[in-house]
Amino acid sequence: MGEYITIGEIVGIYIEEERGARTLIEEGYFKEGLGLIGDIHSKGGSRQVSIFTEEGWDEIKSSEVKGLCTNRFNENIRVKSLNLEYAIPGNTIRIGKTLHEITEVGKACFPECNIIKNGKTCPLHREVIFTKVLKGGKIYIGDKLKIDKLLLCNYEPNVVNKYIYDIINSIPMGVIISDLNGNIKAANKEVLNMFGYTFKEIEKIKVPKLFKGWPTVKNVILSKHNFKDEEVFVNARTNKLRFNLSAYPLFGPSGEVLDIVYIFSEFKKERKLANRIMGRQAIYTFDKIIGENEEFKKTIEFSKKVADSKSTILITGESGTGKEVFAQSIHNYSNRRDEPFVAINSGAIPKSLIESELFGYVEGAFTGAKKGGQPGKFEVADGGTIFLDEIGEMPYDMQTRLLRVIEEGTVSRIGGLDQKVVDVRIIAASNRDLDEEVKKGNFRKDLYYRLKVLPIHIPPLRNRKEDIPLLIEYFMDKVSKRLNKRVVPISQEEMDILMNYDWPGNVRELENFVELMINMEYVPIKVEGKKDIFQENIETVENKNLSLEYMEKCHIKKVLEKYSGNITHSAEALGIGRNTLYRKIKKYKIDCSRFEQRSIKEQQQIR
């Protein structure tokens, strides 16, 4: 049940048992769809319940405003201090244990009525509300009229509660409220100015037509999450088309999503979809990390435990073990999940550019600097997470600046004097032994200990061989769907060889090998039970040209071998015509002499 507020108190209950005979009663009984039982107007089932203000009833009895309507009108309930500001058609009110839906506010007068007399307006035009009974029950004099706070308005400016509408208009950003079908219920003045529409125009436009990507926003909202600070392209009349959008659900009394609130702001260069354009969106979560090894599972549990901490994390492990996967999963498991995730590879950026990438620069800081300057990754990641991959490759002088950011929580752009406070959670990663790098003088000792507050080590794949079949199954399904190719069966002997291989490239190497298998449609190893033969085979494949043409040539040769050189069957298996297969055999200079079964005609055609 929602939270209700009182908008009036019953001081009179009346029934008209026969025409002209009005009776004041202490208690009344409402029946759903009929109205007040005992009143002659309730017999047909179409009679609305009339609720009059105490002040209005006193006024209507004066001869000055008496007309045809007032002569025929019969009130059911008289209410003291009725707050008509909250009386809006479609809203629900509670009287005692009964529920009513407001159908009308004020009564449209007959033409014969003297609406205005001596400067006074007939109270029927403004001092009465009509309802239909949704839930029956008893009412008593002294009962309160209450309205659900969630239903104080239907959001349209012409009838919305003035206080709430003033709040919406005071927000210096564009605000729109819609239902779950995208029908616009409210729009503040700021959003109308931003998009160049009037309210009458914008309420005729459904939200899916207003900006691209509405289905994604709706799905996020229906999952009861917030959609925060994303770039959208708006069909605006103004020149500005790009805006930042945040969207939030409006919940009903039972926790269900009723409506969606959209907040539009000017597109900020600093954001630019920070988690997608300037960094990478955090797409991985812990449920996507495959592994049943006990030590590996402990690593996952520890990572979950520290996800909400503000302390820095240092992830170590060999190349290909999945350090960024863990970093993204930690971010998505934390309370910063709706904020930016910005990744930067310290080893991939030239030393001359890494300072401007991390900390940004002001206009005119150096030759070629952009007009207006450029924010650094720390500014872009404000409120979220920054992932510093290959931190061991960072230049020594940059390590000093990074240490200052960690200690003081502020950044200063190149060429600028201002210090900007940033709230960033730092996750660093390295495949180097940073202990050794510190001893060699390549890495600052104080920075190392600042980063290593929460250390996470990811074991190499050779130390969790029981996970290899699980990973192969996962990658086989994932890659086969992406390439639209069949899954390759693996025998137990082949699986044993794969499990006994050391996988120096770890999970990344395994994923690449699975993709190779799917493209070649067989497991490219010889089942002789020798580890060195497998390794030699892998190295042979890796050292060859892995272009698309090379892979196609290998595949055609494999199919021809499978069908003993039969062109018709091979072409059918490849899904191409016979003539196309002939051309490819000539193109790749495939020697067909080793195939056992080929007709003389086919040989002549190839020549």
pTM of the shown model: 0.48
> Which H or E run contains 255?
none
User: How far is it, in rounded angstroms, from Cα 182 to Cα 361?
Assistant: 41
Q: Order of strands across the sheet with 27-31?
A: 35-36, 27-31, 137-140
Does position 508 have pLDDT exceeding 50, yes or no?
A: yes
CB 288 within 8 A of CB 427: no
Neighbouring C-beta atoms of residue 48, cutoff 10 Å: 18
* CATH number reported for the structural domain that contains residue 386 in this entry: 3.40.50.300
Average pLDDT score over residue span 563-586: 81
Q: Please compute Rg for the chain using Cα positions.
A: 37
Asked if the structure places residue 364 within a domain, the reply is yes
CB 143 within 8 A of CB 10: yes
Question: Could you read off the pLDDT of 477-487 as tens digits, one per residue?
Answer: 989 888 888 89
Average pLDDT score over residue span 316-344: 90
Average pLDDT score over residue span 152-170: 58
CB 52 within 8 A of CB 14: no
* pLDDT band, residue 86 (cuts 50/70/90): low
Write down which residue in 266, 300, 327 finishes a domain: 266
Identify which of 407, 409, 402 has the alpha carbon closest to the alpha carbon of residue 388: 402
397, two tokens: 């002088």
250 and 347 part of one domain: no
Average pLDDT score over residue span 547-573: 79
Question: Could you read off the pLDDT of 529-549 as tens digits, one per residue?
Answer: 434 334 444 444 444 455 677
Asked if the structure places residue 258 within a domain, the reply is yes
Q: What DSSP state is assigned to residue 402?
A: H
The beta strand positions in 252-391, using DSSP E, are: 257-266, 313-316, 341-345, 360-361, 374-375, 385-389
Neighbouring C-beta atoms of residue 243, cutoff 10 Å: 24
User: How far is it, in rounded angstroms, from Cα 477 to Cα 516?
Assistant: 14
Average pLDDT score over residue span 399-412: 88
- Written as one string, the DSSP assignment of 64-123 is GG--HHHHH---SEEEET--GGG--TT-EEEETTEEEEEEEES-PPPTTS--EETTEE-G
User: How far is it, in rounded angstroms, from Cα 327 to Cα 46?
Assistant: 65
User: How far is it, in rounded angstroms, from Cα 336 to Cα 423?
Assistant: 11
The total number of structural domains in the chain stands at 4
555 and 501 part of one domain: yes
138 and 198 part of one domain: no
Percent share of the chain, pLDDT over 90:
20
User: How far is it, in rounded angstroms, from Cα 115 to Cα 607?
Assistant: 104
Write down which residue in 93, 119, 151 finishes a domain: 151
Does position 59 have pLDDT exceeding 90, yes or no?
A: no
Average pLDDT score over residue span 372-382: 85
User: How far is it, in rounded angstroms, from Cα 196 to Cα 213?
Assistant: 21
343 and 419 part of one domain: yes
CA distances to 83, 358, 465, 466 from 293, in Å: 66, 37, 8, 7
User: How far is it, in rounded angstroms, from Cα 220 to Cα 209?
Assistant: 18
Of residues 69 and 381, the one with the higher pLDDT is 381
Neighbouring C-beta atoms of residue 579, cutoff 10 Å: 11
User: How far is it, in rounded angstroms, from Cα 410 to Cα 408?
Assistant: 5
* pLDDT band, residue 352 (cuts 50/70/90): confident
* pLDDT band, residue 414 (cuts 50/70/90): confident
Asked if the structure places residue 329 within a domain, the reply is yes
Block residue for tokens 């920054």: 386
Least confident of 62-76, 299-313, 450-464: 62-76
316 and 452 part of one domain: yes
User: How far is it, in rounded angstroms, from Cα 390 to Cα 574?
Assistant: 43
Of residues 158 and 93, the one with the higher pLDDT is 93
Least confident of 46-50, 93-97, 302-306, 458-462: 46-50
User: How far is it, in rounded angstroms, from Cα 327 to Cα 564?
Assistant: 50
Average pLDDT score over residue span 304-317: 94
User: What pLDDT does 337 receive?
Assistant: 85
User: What pLDDT does 74 receive?
Assistant: 60
17, two tokens: 């048992």
Phi, psi of 15 (to 5 degrees): -130, 150
Identify which of 340, 334, 378 has the alpha carbon closest to the alpha carbon of residue 230: 340
Asked if the structure places residue 597 within a domain, the reply is no
* CATH number reported for the structural domain that contains residue 170 in this entry: 3.30.450.20
211 and 98 part of one domain: no
Question: Could you read off the pLDDT of 107-157 as tens digits, one per residue?
Answer: 655 444 545 455 556 666 667 888 888 888 899 999 998 876 544 444 444
Does position 173 have pLDDT exceeding 70, yes or no?
A: yes
Percent share of the chain, pLDDT over 70:
78
143 and 166 part of one domain: no
* pLDDT band, residue 187 (cuts 50/70/90): confident
78 and 208 part of one domain: no
Asked if the structure places residue 280 within a domain, the reply is no
Does position 279 have pLDDT exceeding 50, yes or no?
A: no
Asked if the structure places residue 501 within a domain, the reply is yes
125 and 183 part of one domain: no
Domain of residue 424: give its range: 286-457
User: What pLDDT does 424 receive?
Assistant: 92
Neighbouring C-beta atoms of residue 349, cutoff 10 Å: 18
CA distances to 133, 143, 559, 578 from 30, in Å: 7, 14, 82, 83
Write down which residue in 115, 131, 151 finishes a domain: 151
389: Cβ contacts below 8 Å, ≥ 6 apart: 323, 324, 327, 343, 344, 345, 346, 347, 428, 429
> Which H or E run contains 595?
none
Asked if the structure places residue 491 within a domain, the reply is yes
User: What pLDDT does 546 receive?
Assistant: 55
Average pLDDT score over residue span 208-213: 88
* pLDDT band, residue 271 (cuts 50/70/90): very low
336 and 441 part of one domain: yes
Phi, psi of 261 (to 5 degrees): -105, 125
55, two tokens: 């002040």
Average pLDDT, the chain: 79
360 and 438 part of one domain: yes
Rounded to the nearest 5 percent, the helix, strand and coil shares of the chain are: 35, 25, 40
User: What pLDDT does 240 receive?
Assistant: 61
275, two tokens: 């988690």
β partners of residue 50: 130
CB 49 within 8 A of CB 130: yes
Phi, psi of 149 (to 5 degrees): -60, -30
Q: What DSSP state is assigned to residue 414?
A: B
Does position 75 have pLDDT exceeding 70, yes or no?
A: no
CB 300 within 8 A of CB 322: no
User: How far is it, in rounded angstroms, from Cα 392 to Cα 432?
Assistant: 7
User: What pLDDT does 573 receive?
Assistant: 81
Q: What DSSP state is assigned to residue 6?
A: E
438 and 530 part of one domain: no
Does position 592 have pLDDT exceeding 80, yes or no?
A: no
Phi, psi of 248 (to 5 degrees): -140, 145
Asked if the structure places residue 473 within a domain, the reply is no
